[in-house]
Structure 1
Amino acid sequence: MSDSTEIRRWEPGAPDAESQLRLVIHLAKQHRQTLGFLPDAVFRDAGNKGQLLIALEDTVVLGYVLYRVTRSVIRLTHVCVSGAARGRGLGRELIDQAIADNPSATGIIARCRRDYGLNRFWAEAGLSPSSEAAGRNAQGLPLTLWTRPLGAPDLLLSSALESTKPLAVLDSNIVIDLYSSAEVQRPDRAASQGLMADWVAEEVTFAVSVQLDHELNDNEDASERVRQIAGAQGWVRLPTTRPHDTSIERELVASFGGRAVARDPSLENDAKHLADAVRADAQYFITNDEGVLAARGSIKDRFGVAIVRPHELIADVLESSGVLQTYAPGVFEHIDLRWHDARDFSDEQLEQAFLCFAEGERAKEFRPSLRAALAAGEAKVLIEDRGAVALLAVRPRNDELQVPIMRVASSAHDSSIALQLARQLRLDALELGLQRVAITDKRLPRKIVGALREDGFFRDEDGLYSARPIGRHVTAGELPHDSELQVLLDRVGSTQAGESVSRALEWRHWPIKIWDESMACYVVPIRPSAAMELFGYPPNLLQQRRALGLSRRHVYYRSGRSNPFRSLPGRILWYASTEGTNIVQKFFAISVAVASQTMSAEEAHRKFSGMGVYKRSQVEAAADGRGRVTVLEIEDTEVLQRPVSLASFRQYAKPHRVAAEFVSPRPIPSELFRSLMNAHHQPLETR
């Protein structure tokens, strides 16, 4: 920007205000091919609110930015610079001024068509791509959502930076290993996936640089790009000083050496990942990039960051694995599980089955707590035909459900049972009107610890695991009184980052539901027989489902001819249709869809048989003519206490002009989904 150029806020009372506004509107109309059409009144309204900034050279309007602020987020509507003035940094200066004029803003976002080729501009303005969705243009060309956090770090980032565990930053090649489809050849995929084991999270805090988002966005394969971006949203993003300060990046590039960078220009991008890791005082940078690994000695000496491969991190940080088995909901279809009063068993039987030998527990330590629970009638045993599989003691105290004993017997399914118990304790607390579940068992087996962590339980200062289930639903704009939720929901806007925070909240405070208008919603029709196999609906629930609740994870298969789940994560409303003489026609359950991919039926069954209840023959029956199926991965399914009839759905759908004909999965407006849930979803209320 030259010395003669100034950026000023449009002031309606200024002498030249009307002429400036006309010039702004004229400039907008010159570029309506890319900006789209806005009524003239929108410009005046934004100006009256102080949300129209103009770049002026004497009386000539060189550019402008039009924005609005909602829920503390700056939402850029137009960023426009005349053709003659481009290349001078005016667009970035306009955005910076909008940020300066709104010091309390927590973030800034913009939506831009991917085919406009403006990725470099948004990156230079400090924004990063966070998600992609089909545009409203006639061609349905994709829109990229660009975001930049502002102000103080949110609680998720603060927690990562303040953690006492070592901080490890993942390079983009590791993240791509984790989330690319099976069709993409990734020789180090298995090694990278080792980082996802539950026991690793016990010892390490993971994060990524915002540079990851730029590199994922550069992928020209649309399906892989969308898949990888969606999969990577759960990682904490580190703060960056780019584009204003790149001093560490320059030092790192020098550490690689000029010849190495000339041979491999991508090292300049690697320097950005590493620079953010250095600024965050990370102990580890995890990569499989040979160019980065070649310089790890000098970088360790200069910046203190250890550059390691995935297996080197595991070997360096952990001496014992403690790996939990993969969770397999299908096992419960073949086990007859029942609860019994623990007093039906002798002390010796319970000690033999549930004493925690792996943690060095002795019988004389376990016996007093066991006998106290037995005397108070607080203990119960989960059994199957072959014997006892779990021991649980629960004790309501004040506003919390205390769990002095939580054990699972060693078996092929102990991890799955542990996860189910963790989930069921939340429901038990809510049904008793309690606000907290506190695991007070001091000798928890690693299987239980892993299950609690996976289910959102957090360890407090006393080393006890606890959870605060919230039995209600809210919208992103409705701030509940809970201080933690209030702070986190302040960060939630109509962004993929907002969806990430919403999912984190739902994971931590399940069964809370946060109806976010930005999250895609779908209706998925399912045959009544399949609904019974997958969810135990229509009502005829198996005994183990009443005892342990619905499984946390499932997969659903459909024809591979097309994949309708283009925007994930998303909400699923399940519709039990008609099958022969069995006419159900009810919308009976809700889920969160976390991933979807198309592959051969053989590969799908091999990859997902541990998460599903379907036999190989059933998966093959769902395949298209080429033998391919679409796999939908879902979590946190709830069967509605008040299913929605087809007639009722039509009543709610009519104002949204949605036809109530469902022969295949299809999206529905989020407003329709929300209105149905407000009327029919009855979450457990804390009393």
Structure 2
Amino acid sequence: MKIIRINDQSKYLSQVKQLWRKNSATLGYFPDGAFFQYASQRHILVCLDSKNNVIGYLMYRPFRRQVRIVHLCVDERYRRRGIASLLVEHLRKITQNFEGCGLWCRLDFEARHLWPKLGFVALSDKRGKSQTGKPLAFWWLNYGHPNLFTITKPKEEPKIQVVMDANIFYDLQSEETKENYEAKALLADWLAEDIELCLVQEIYNEIIRNKDPERRKKQREFINYFTVLQTTIEEFNRVSQILRPLFPENMTPSDESDLRQVAHAIVAGVTFFVTQDDDLINISDKVYNDFGMLILRPCDLISHLDELSREAEYQPARLAGSLIKGRLARSKELPKYVNSFLCFVQGERKKHFLDTVKRCLVNPEFCEVRVIEKSKENNPIALVAYNKQYSNVLEIPLFRIRKHSLSSTIAKHVILKAILTAARENREIIKITDPHLDENTRNALQNTSFVELTNGWIRASLSVTDTAKNLKRKLLRLANEYIEARDYFFQLAYGLERAYKKQDVKTLASIEQILWPAKITDSGIPCFIVPIKPQWAMDLFDEDLAKQTLFGAKPELVLNRENVYYRSCRPAVINSPSRVLWYVKADTRYSGSKQVRACSCVDEVVIDKPKDIFKRFRRLGVYRWKDVFEIAGNSLNGRVMAICFSNTELFRSPIPWDYLQEILLEEQGKKLPIRSPVRITDKCFFRLYDYGMQSK
């Protein structure tokens, strides 16, 4: 027997599907497109017998620092022969840089006896979403190798809220048939930790149209299994008017209900709406462009869950044309701030909220209160206060984001600005002390390396370039100075020490992201210089270049923390994780071109066909389909490289061409034309970075 990873061209993929069909009663519905998607990412392991027949398979998906098992299936003729153990052990070996792997499994399934034998432990259990409500257990296998933080269970990730239309709701309640098989897949155990199925208030109007009182009663009872999202009538009416032209001129009651369901979902701020209604699917692109909500079939949600989860978290492309702007708050607008940001859900009192805002407004020497709003509507969507009373700390006593489809994106933008502000002012600590943070903000803090303490959230912000040894000393000093965060800094310090001793570049890169904008000079993280045209630099990250054009940068520039740059896939020298210096190519139309102007962290490098790669990263905006198609040589079968990068720092002193060549000659032994990405030494990178970050 042998274990291999397969791709979407593998002759074994059809055998995997056959094995799934034989066991679909347990494994549940799984779209054909999802098999293809997992295989194309090489996330399917198969076990072959001596005649190269598939006798078992394991399907998995990485998510952040964890791995999730989607299917583990062994041919019933070969069970109890250790095949499941071989598959799990192979998975552990090829994903050893992750914290561990886990899965949800029903407690009434025979497999519950298997997981303890494979080393898994049942960390928690909950009631399933199906009508029977069978209990599910979460099984976790900790890989046990040293990582940044000692954990006993994996960090719980935020779920994606998905609104389903009334017909999907009815299908979930009905007995399984060929017609509702796809909808029933939304109740699959492995999806339970990723998505939260929701309804909108229109479901009650749908139910009342049923003439059978007993059916109405059962349908209302079934609603209790799901979250019903609440919306305001003012926003609902506004969105309904915008949506109206997308529906037939003479609407049936069913059309009217569809419009209301879509409008409620948009106002509730969700990113996904599932339906099998072709008329709604046909308006998906228009709704996405206007509101950032994807209308899709259940099978498409399941097939592309990973990329859709990233879509839900971060959507800078949605800001195009919205003209988001920030400014200082004004005391005369306090009533507006109360209406928009008072957290009555958590029991916050109006007086306490006003006292916090006023205390900051009347102390301009140390405090600053900023509001972010849509300029066309003069509508506040974020309110943030900074307290700079202590020289080494940036405190944020007020951090409010009004709930809408861009809440997560704006929260991450505010956090990025806070980190850059702290770094610019040499403040080593950022503390969020607002006791009334909403879930989106808490998730954004968690995903940008903040840790929660008893009195708020804290993050280190070290604006230094230094060795691992010296950074460890700085972290130990912070551990002694900030007693409430002592464990956090100790774990970082000794995690850094362990990773450095093992020369674990991936873990060192993760620590560098946690401490960003700090740079570990002896980490071995690869460094590159990447050339970019001025017009793309302008839209992706460079505000100074943008000011030189009539219209400035695209509005989405304002809030981008993550971004993507497309280029030819050759030469394929860039990998991830890595650091890049952006060299803006010469162009006489732009003052400041022919310079290295910024530095970024490379999170992912993907090479794929233009249509697939554009669909995957369109949430990041800036590039249009025709731009990506052109890079592929106007061929649907061409290949395009997507460089996904984040945490961009604009240089205070852009590096001129002549000085760049001087450093390259000294450190690399020769001058380079920089027509395509080139790798540079660590020493070369830090000489250039230090020059760029010095004050003019």
**TM-score normalised to the size of structure 1?**
0.56
Q: Is the Cα contact below 8 Å between 2:527 and 2:579 reproduced in 1?
A: yes
Give the match for residue 622 of structure 2: 613
How far apart are the structure 2 equivalents of 1:188 and 1:623?
20
Q: Could you tell me how far apart the structure 2 residues matched to 1:545 and 1:487 are?
A: 43
Q: How far apart, CA to CA, are the structure 2 residues paired with 1:586 and 1:271? A: 49
Query: How do 1:286-435 residues align onto structure 2 when only pairs under 5 Å count?
Result: 286=103, 294-297=110-113, 299=115, 305=122, 306=137, 309-313=189-193, 325-377=312-364, 378-385=368-375, 386=377, 387-398=379-390, 399-435=392-428
Secondary structure in 2 matching 1:558: strand
**In the alignment, does 2:560 pair up with 1:570?**
no
Contact kept in structure 1, 2:320 and 2:556, CA below 8 Å: no
The share of aligned pairs that are identical, in percent, is: 21
Give, as a single letter, the amino acid of the residue that structure 1 aligns with 2:608. M
Unaligned 5+ segments in structure 2 are 4-29, 48-58, 123-136, 140-188, 197-224, 230-268, 272-311, 477-488
Change (3 A) 1:323 1:528: same
Partner-residue secondary structure (3-state), 2:500 = coil
Displacement of 1:543 in angstroms is 9.0
Change (3 A) 1:474 1:232: farther
Q: By how many angstroms is 1:527 displaced?
A: 1.0
Task: Give 3-state SS (helix, strand or coil) of 2:330's partner.
Answer: helix
Which of residues 451, 456, 461 in structure 1 aligns to 2:454? 461
Choose the corresponding residue for 1:666, options 678, 683, 689: 678
Q: Whole-Å Cα distance in 2 between the matches of residues 334 and 350 of structure 1?
A: 24
C-alpha distance in 1, partners of 2:572/2:385?
Answer: 45
Do the aligned partners of residues 607 and 360 (structure 1) sit closer, same or farther apart at CA in structure 2, a change above 3 Å counting? farther
2: CA distance, partners of 1:565 / 1:550: 29
Give the Cα–Cα distance (whole angstroms) in 1 for the partners of residues 587 and 334 of structure 2.
51
| Mapped contact 2:423–2:461 kept (Cα < 8 A) | yes
Q: In structure 2, give the amino acid aligned to 1:527.
A: K
Q: Partner letter of residue 474 of structure 1?
A: D
2:190 corresponds to which letter in structure 1?
Answer: P
How big is each residue's C-alpha offset from its partner over 1:425-479, in whole Å with a ceiling of 9 and x where there is no partner?
12333444433222111111112112211221110133x1122211111233544
The answer on whether the counterparts of 1:354 and 1:391 sit within 8 Å (CA) in structure 2 is yes
d(CA) in 2 for partners of 1:431 and 1:537? 17
Q: Distance in 2 between matches of 1:312 and 1:337?
A: 35
Partner of 1:487: 494
CA distance in 2, matches of 1:594, 1:534: 16
DSSP 3-state at the match of 1:465: strand
In structure 2, give the amino acid aligned to 1:564.
Answer: A
Aligned-partner SS, 1:286: strand
Equivalent of 1:630 in 641, 644, 651: 641
Q: Which has the larger radius of gyration?
A: 1
Distance in 2 (alpha carbons) for counterparts of 1:545 and 1:477 = 42
- More divergent stretch after superposition (318-327 vs 588-597): 318-327
Counterparts in 2 of 1:358 and 1:339: CA distance versus 1, 3 Å: same
Matches within 5 A, 1:131-146: none
User: CA 1:468 to 1:285, structure 2 compared with 1: closer, same or farther past 3 Å?
Assistant: closer
| Alignment partners' CA distance in 2, 1:475 and 1:435 | 17
Please state how far the C-alpha of 1:383 moved relative to its aligned partner: 2.5
CA 1:581–1:256 in 2, change beyond 3 Å: closer, same or farther? closer
Residue 526 of structure 1 pairs with residue 343 of structure 2:
no
- How many angstroms apart in 1 are the aligned matches of 2:195 and 2:657? 56
Partner amino acid, structure 1, of 2:459: A
After the TM superposition, which residues 205-284 of structure 1 pair with which residues of structure 2 at under 5 Å, given as runs?
235=65, 259-262=78-81, 265-270=83-88
CA apart distance, 1:488: 3.3
Structure 2 counterpart of 1:109: none
Deviations 1:401-447 (A, max 9, x none): 22221112233322211111111112333444433222111111112
Give the CA deviation at 1:633: 0.7
Give deviations 1:337-373, integer Å, cap 9, x for gaps. Answer: 4433322543321111112244454434433323333
* TM-superposed deviation, 1:575: 0.9
- Partner residue of 2:131? none
Give the superposition deviation at 1:582. Answer: 4.8
| Contact residue 392 and residue 405 of structure 1 kept, 8 A | yes
Distance 2:554 2:421 in 1: 14
- State the partner residue of 1:185: 37
Is the Cα contact below 8 Å between 2:270 and 2:405 reproduced in 1?
no
AA in 2 matched with 1:397? Q
Task: Call closer, same or farther: CA 1:315–1:668 in 2, change over 3 Å.
Answer: closer
Superposition TM-score, scaled by structure 2 size: 0.55
C-alpha distance in 2, partners of 1:683/1:537? 17
> Cα distance, 1:622 vs. partner?
1.9
- The Cα of 1:294 is off from its aligned counterpart by 4.5
1:258–1:338 CA distance, 2 compared to 1 (3 A): closer
CA contact (8 A) 2:410 2:559 kept: no
In the aligned structure 2, how far is the partner of 1:620 from the partner of 1:394? 44
Q: Distance in 2 between matches of 1:432 and 1:355?
A: 30
- Distance of aligned partners of 1:544 and 1:538 in 2 relative to their CA distance in 1, 3 Å threshold: closer
Q: What code does the residue aligned with 1:587 have?
A: V
Within-5 A mapping of 1:441-456: 441-456=434-449
Unaligned runs of 5+ in 1: 1-118, 121-176, 193-211, 216-227, 238-252
> Structure 2 vs 1, CA of residues 341 and 531 (structure 1 numbering), >3 Å: closer, same or farther?
closer
Picking from 599, 604, 609, the partner of 1:600 is 609
1-structure distance, mates of 2:92, 2:583: 48
> CA separation in 2, counterparts of 1:673 and 1:311?
43
Find out whether 1:647 has 2:465 as its counterpart.
no
| 1:597–1:631 Cα contact (<8 Å) kept | yes
Name the CA distance, whole Å, in 2 between partners of 1:319 and 1:360. 24
Q: 1:346 to 1:448 in 2, by over 3 A?
A: same
C-alpha distance in 2, partners of 1:622/1:346? 48
